[in-house]
Structure 1
């Protein structure tokens, strides 16, 4: 019986969280299209302090782009207030490299 309870906790809870976050992710993508001027610096570029939620809203395809580049936290709604630098630390990525990749993506898809 304990094995069933442990399996439910180990598999069921993360699965439920993933499903809820996936639904929320779709809502974020529906809201985000085009550039969001309030998160750009003076040069019109994002910074490492820009939150993940705002980065995702900058372009409809940004979520898939970030996931393909190692930032899988876009499916988690709690990451919306996390800075790009913090997200990169959590995922073991270089924030400067990720920032340049994101800016290149936005320039190509503007």
Structure 2
């Protein structure tokens, strides 16, 4: 899966729960909340003041490593 600014957080976590650490690092501690799972990655970054492109690089790099493992 390739993560984009429009990817829902719930979709990303359903695809790979190990990505939760990156959301927790940015201060998003409400990952189990239904409303947070319905936010896009861009929306979450905006609310938490995080560089969305930097987060996407981490998410996509981690997913690529997991696919190759």
Q: TM-score normalised to the size of structure 1?
A: 0.53
1:85 is aligned to 42
SS of match in other structure, 2:17: coil
> Residue 80 of structure 1: CA displacement?
1.1
The root-mean-square deviation of aligned C-alpha atoms, in Å, is: 1.6
Structure 1 unaligned spans of 5+: 1-39
Aligned structure 1 segments of 4 or more residues deviating by more than 6 angstroms: none
1:100 is aligned to 57
SS of match in other structure, 1:82: coil
Q: 2:3 aligns with which of 28, 38, 46?
A: 46
Structure 2 unaligned spans of 5+: none
Q: TM-score normalised to the size of structure 2?
A: 0.80
Alignment of 1:1-110 (within 5 A): 40=1, 45-67=2-24, 69-72=25-28, 73-110=30-67
Cα pair distance change 1:71/1:105, threshold 3 Å: farther
